[in-house]
Structure 1
Amino acid sequence: MSKNQKLWTKEEDLFLKKQYEQMTFQRIGEHLNRSKESVNKRIIRLNLRNEENCLHKKWTTEQDTFLKENIDIMNNREIGTHLGKNPLFCCCIKILKLTRRETLRRWTEQEDEYLINYYGSKSLECISRRLQRSMAALESRLNRLGVYGVRTYTGNITVYELAKCLKVDVHTIYKWIQKKELPHKVTRAKTRKFVGIEVSAFWKWAEYNKNLLNFSKIPTNTLVPEPDWVKEQRTYDYYNRPKYEKKQWTEEEDARLWYMFYEEGRTQQEIGQLIGRSRYGVQRRLNRLRKKKLTT
């Protein structure tokens, strides 16, 4: 072993085993910051290339169906990348007697600009409808443009994707980045900057900032691999977090809050328990109501 050669970690080996035959060696290398040759050598060392798990394994019914559905909207490389197969699989196309109805529609500069400008601020479903492109085609195109980690839960995800997974507003994520030191990475594609957040780094940060999240609202395994402590925290938040936390205040609630605090002399903690809000939520709302009354 070379003196400067980077040792493989258990996490990298686990990722490699999970993604072997699902992703190309090139894409696995990009996620792990390793060369394609290094990935290939590690696969041999881990004995992944055996009779039951070989590169030339038979195509499944699901893969055949995907090929039939996308033969007219994706090229060989895009289909191969999505299925983790070699792009040169024309023999399979011939066996299934598939032919493309027309020449594939090439990506235009306008489409690339739209994709880059709105990726991260709009969902892929919305972009797909706007450009009349399949989700798989969008993923493949983003990878070609140098934006990696699209719709993957093992690498970097965008601020928009993280906000969607956590059921919070996008601006909340930016606030955590600016004021709570949420780890992030900035990448470029043409003239656009993308803020990427690594899933494992996010969970480490979240473990020390549990008060900022209501884990009971985060579906199980939304961001994998999910640490063991999250399950326990999810149960705790379900029973201890206010039921209507972060719900918009109504005029009736404002009037009741004002009356209980100034007329009945109740504490913010008591009011929060009575109306299903946190003490800090009650405190913030009182401050807003005071400012509102001063300006009117």
Structure 2
Amino acid sequence: MAKVWTDEENEFLEQHAGKMTIPTLAKRISEEFGNNRTVAGVQARLKRLGITNLLQETGRMTMNELSVLIGADHKAIRRWIENGWLPYVKRKVVFKRQFYLIKATSFWEFAEKHKDQVNFLRIEPNSIAPEPEWVEAERKKEYYDTPKRQSKLWDKEQDELLISMKKAGYSIKEISERLKRTVSSVHSRKKMLTDKGFILPDQITLRWTDKEIQLFYKLEQEGYTDKQIACELGREEYHIRRKRFSLRKSGKYKGAKQKWEHGKVS
């Protein structure tokens, strides 16, 4: 039986996420608390706890996070690093991948010295804290100096920001808010960029095994919520709802939850 995560395990994740690879986290938690946590389970639990924002957890941003926050291509940020303009450190975050991590203060020091490299109008106020007082003056200056667009045509920079945000896991709604475009416009542009190979197609859900389905039924019988089931199976919550729907549709559902329609149990 899959066990509910304990407060001690949650605290361990909060203290060590970003300092160890996820396989190491899974191994250490299993050894210290005896609950046999898997890599998929740890990944799901980190997401559930919201331990995904390195800026919040460590005071540093990855290149991809900074790219999204300032509306610039990550290649430009890499160029700043390679030129020695933008200080960074490296850290293992997941598996064996190494990330360039950048302090907010280091970015602002760079931006003050290289104002020609940054479009301050694209940076949401206080999205990179602490924001220096001089930034708002630069933001206003660019607002009045930049000609207003006469059309809503997509440009290269907006395409690059859409691609970066999609890779970072942002939703279409979040991207539309960031780009100040409609959801339908972002959907259409994403489809075009996907068709041209600039964005990978949405990941196909992994096929469910018989063992997973039986565990899914068992957890339902024991009163687990969909979120808890998803966590234990290392899946998203919508995967659980979708699987239940498909099982019902095919007449194979043997779970504990009844179907609700129009406020009534069917």
TM-score range, shorter chain: 0.3 to 0.5
What TM-score do you get using the length of structure 1 for normalisation? 0.37
Higher relative contact order (CA 8 A, sep 6+): 2
Normalization by structure 2: what TM-score? 0.41
